[in-house]
Structure 1
Amino acid sequence: MGWSSAAAFARTARRTSLAEATGSPRPACLITRPEPGAAATAARVEALGWHPVLAPALRLAPLPMAPAPEARAALVASAAAIPALAAACPPGLPVLAVGEGTARAARAAGFTAVSAAGGDAESLLAHATARLLPAAGPVLLAAGEGYGDELAEALLARGFAVIRRDAYAATEATGLPPPARDALVAGSVRSALFFSPRSAAAAVSLIRAAGLGAAATAIRALALSGRVALALDGLPWGGLDVASRPDQDTLLGLLGPAPPLAPHARPEG
């Protein structure tokens, strides 16, 4: 279904009530981030009165990571890297995490010297530059396969020796989960959360491949950063807002409490 099929889409949506599509009379919020993180985000979204609908656009899997005993600190840009890091490195290794969520994951994995940056790669670079001395020894950059090259280059430019390790693999989902597809068909999704450029681009591709691009006109897309917002350009969103800070708390503050259900969307009976 192309964007020009909005009228046909609307007719289809009217045939399915909100409660039928989601099992809830509440407006739905699409959560496109993968685990680790999706379930925790869903719980917070539900606490705001929304019906969370999980539609992870990527699937993450830890990779075996070789130890780096010469590293004096580890930089971690995603909580997905923590399992491989914990298996390969001693708990006393200083860990510089991209944000508070990743820092919590590192502490939960047993690391004892953990600090957090402001939520994106730029703040992690600034955090590392402020806390570490290049002369003290190499830094370990644990990132996803195909991620982290820009950060590694920026560290090298500042005089750091960098040990780059792939800590997890990310693959695009092959399709929308049935509950997410049903909610989009029904037009019950009123908001959607996007946490990274790659997952945002993958989510756009999944929605378009399902022929549900017209559903975006009823959805307010919320992006963690400007770079994430750029990856959402492929759909006609009803609104697009960017968090003022690249962290989940700010993004959920932007989402806010669920609005009252519109009278025309209330289930019968």
Structure 2
Amino acid sequence: MTESLTILVTRPEPGGSATADLLRARGHVPVLAPCLDIEALPATLPYTCDAIVIASAQALPGLPAAWRAIPLFAVGDATAARARDLGFITVESASGTARDLADLVVRQLKPRAAIVLPCGAGHSLELAAALRTAGFRVTRRVVYRSRPAEHLAAAAIAALAAEAVDRVMIFSPATARRFASLIDHESLAGTLRRAIAIAISPAAAAPLARLPFRAIRAAISPDQDHMLAILP
């Protein structure tokens, strides 16, 4: 039987609650501790396109309902599942990185296809460049931005202060940097000595190195499924 773990989930909403539900179904005790706040931004989008390319589920809520029938290519399985939940009919997952996503689009779409790439502020620039180099007509639009959370959630502070946290799930380098800053601000570094950090990638693990975790594990592929695989 799988050991029940108390797990801090630092992912912002709406993904944080979805991850918490998944952990709860596996018998764990999730504690939401979002380290970034997501703000939707107004964006002028084309009337239509040949395909939508998504590198983060945070970009999905801002897409018009009229686009549900347009083929959508997602960076990973969780993002693809979120798109299907929102009503997108034709969804394919690259099950990997932005580079894998670009490769999938190249294999599946005809040259000169018109692609819309909704993304966060400062995100997906390399992906857009790679798709343009491959011959696609890419419209990149910023539909959200992330801001550092001002405080750790009260429940997270309480769990850390009680030294009850077994794992901390970190979903991006920006989240890792903000988590480290918030831990310093709350003088909680010492409470991490029995906890293990679960990072989505080596880049997300790097900012955690100065914190006294018992161990820091990085997923071999940057997605939630591979993070879950290294929880025990």
Asked whether the two chains share a fold, i.e. TM above 0.5, the reply is: yes
CA deviation string 1:108-165 (max 9, x = no partner): 2222221111132122122112112332x33111111221112122222323222110
1:23 aligned residue: none
Deviations 1:191-215 (A, max 9, x none): 1111122222221211112111222
* Aligned match for 2:180, one of 183, 189, 204: 204
Equivalent position SS for 2:49 = coil
Deviations 1:67-125 (A, max 9, x none): 213532111011111111235x5222111011122112222222222111113212212
Is residue 92 of structure 2 the alignment partner of residue 115 of structure 1?
Answer: yes
1:27 and 1:95 map into 2 onto residues whose CA distance is 35
Residue 243 (structure 1) aligns with: 219
Q: d(CA) in 1 for partners of 2:25 and 2:80? A: 23
Is 1:124 the counterpart of 2:68 in the alignment?
A: no
CA offsets per residue over residues 186-237 of structure 1, 9 Å max, x none?
2111111111222222212111121112222221001112222223234222
Q: Please list, as runs of the form range in 1=range in 2, the aligned pairs for 1:11-160 lying within 5 A after superposition.
A: 27-69=5-47, 71-87=49-65, 90-135=67-112, 137-160=113-136
One-letter code of the match for 2:35? A
Q: Which has the higher helix share?
A: 1
Partner-residue secondary structure (3-state), 2:158? helix
Q: Does the CA-based 8 Å contact 2:45-2:141 persist in structure 1?
A: no
Paired residue total: 229
- TM-score w.r.t. length of structure 2: 0.90
Deviation at residue 239 of structure 1 after TM alignment: 0.3
Give distance in 2, aligned partners of 1:226 and 1:49. Answer: 27
Distance 1:27 1:112 in 2: 36
1:154-193 per-residue CA deviation (whole Å, 9 max, x = no partner) reads 2223232221101212111101111111111121111111
What is the DSSP-based 3-state SS (H/G/I as helix, E as strand, rest coil) of the residue aligned with 1:231? Answer: helix
> Based on CA coordinates, which of the two structures has the bigger radius of gyration?
1
Which of the residues 151, 154, 159 maps onto 1:178?
154
Distance in 1 of aligned mates of 2:230 and 2:14? 22
Whole-angstrom distance in 2 between the partners of 1:133 and 1:231? 40
Can you give the 5+ residue segments of structure 1 that lack an aligned partner in the other structure? 1-25, 257-269
| Equivalent pair of 2:96/2:221 in contact (CA under 8 Å) | yes
Query: Partner of 1:202: helix, strand, or coil?
Result: helix
Q: Which runs of 4 or more aligned residues in structure 1 lie more than 6 Å from their structure 2 counterparts after TM superposition?
A: none
Shift of 1:27: 4.5
SS at match of 1:218: coil
Instruction: Give RMSD over aligned pairs.
Output: 1.8
Whether the aligned pair in 1 keeps the contact of 2:51 and 2:116 (CA below 8 Å) is: yes
AA in 2 matched with 1:49? G
TM-score w.r.t. the length of structure 1 is: 0.79
Q: Aligned partner of 2:83: which letter? A: A
Letter in 1 for 2:156: A
The structure with higher relative contact order (CA 8 Å, sep 6+) is 1
- 2:190 partner amino acid: A
Q: Does 1:230 align with 2:199?
A: no
Q: Which residue of 1 aligns with 2:169?
A: 193
